[in-house]
Structure 1
Amino acid sequence: MSDEFPPQVFRITRADLVRYCGASGDFNVIHWSDRLATKVGLPGVIAHGMFTMALAGRAVTAWAGAADAVEDFSVRFSRPVPVPDDDEGAEVIFTGRVKSTGDDGRTTIAVTATCNGETVLKLAQATIRKR
């Protein structure tokens, strides 16, 4: 495992948000209505925080090589991911670096997630066990 992990880029579209609303049961209007999202002070429709976290989890499992290698995963939400109403959507870039490796073979990875140059997850990290 190298000290730096290659960036992984995910696109989030409005269609993805509609699907996530249905899967999660979270139909909060800030995830589908520009009019109401801006009314509460947001820049427009935003992605669900848990959806963004799930994408970070996909990046971590790809770096780990298997989902069952991830023993612990946590994030703090620091900024919303605005999702424009177009065919491009929002681009979220995940990078990672080794924070520490224990004698037991467990590796802690610090994860960074950015959208439009802004950090959207803070204190994101995962513990991966050696396979």
Structure 2
Amino acid sequence: MIKAEEVTEGTTLPPLTLTITRADLVRYAGASLDFNPIHWNERFAQEVGLPGVIAHGMLTMGMASRIVTDWTGDPGAVVEYGVRFGRPVPVPDTAEGATVEVTAKVTKHLEDGTFKIAITATFDGKSVLGGATARVRLP
């Protein structure tokens, strides 16, 4: 577990590579009850102007937060997390699925003792989450 005295503004977190497959979309749809056909029906997704089936935004958001929870070693250390959804993540019907690259950096040590972390998530070199930040309290 990382300690507050080990962290300074500018500290970079270890990068994270995420794989999102169609099976992940099925599991997430069942858990979230979000059965929108853009997340499972290729033809429908294309008919509404998408490149194909896309990952649920909240699934991408949740998976990207792992960069912080893996680093802190304690999911309870996250006291705030927010993002804006930028671009969809198309998920091909292959074993490889879609690859999302996640990086993060500590941007501020706040007066209340917490740290603000800026998170970047990209698919195919383009950002998929905008303004993604987390605030953590470290021991």
TM-score (norm 2): 0.91
User: Which residue number in structure 1 is paired with residue 15 of structure 2?
Assistant: 7
Counterpart amino acid of residue 107 in structure 1: F
Partners of 2:84 and 2:62 in 1: CA distance: 13
Q: Corresponding residue for 1:74?
A: 82
Structure 1 residue 93: Cα displacement: 1.0
Root mean square deviation of aligned Cα: 1.0
Match of 1:102 in 2: 110
What CA distance in whole angstroms lies between the structure 2 residues aligned with 1:39 and 1:13? 21
CA distance in 2, matches of 1:16, 1:92: 14
5+ residue gaps, structure 1: none
Q: Cα deviation per residue 1:58-88 (whole Å; 9 max; x = unaligned)?
A: 2221122201111000000000000001110
Separation in 2, partners of 1:47, 1:103? 37
Q: What does 1:10-29 correspond to in 2, within 5 Å?
A: 10-29=18-37
Pairwise CA distance, 1:56? 1.5
Amino acid at match of 1:20: Y
d(CA) in 2 for partners of 1:76, 1:60: 17
- The whole-number CA distance in structure 1 between the counterparts of 2:14 and 2:67 is 10
Q: Distance in 1 between matches of 2:30 and 2:60?
A: 16
Give the Cα–Cα distance (whole angstroms) in 2 for the partners of residues 79 and 118 of structure 1: 8
For 2:48, the equivalent position in structure 1 comes to: 40
Q: Is the 8 A contact 2:85 2:129 kept in 1?
A: yes
Q: Is the 8 A contact 2:14 2:67 kept in 1?
A: no
Q: Percent identity?
A: 55
Instruction: Show structure 1 runs of 4+ deviating over 4 A.
Output: none
Q: TM-score normalised to the size of structure 1?
A: 0.96
Q: How many residues align?
A: 131
Q: CA deviation at 1:123?
A: 0.3
- Note the residue ranges of structure 2 that are not aligned, 5 or more in a row: 1-6
Distance 1:129 1:19 in 2: 31
State the alpha-carbon separation in 2 of the partners of residues 40 and 80 from structure 1.
Answer: 13
| Post-superposition CA distance 1:87-117 (Å, at most 9, x none) | 1000011100011012432100000000111
2:123 to 100, 103, 115: 115
Name whichever structure is richer in strand by fraction: 1
1:45 match: secondary structure: coil
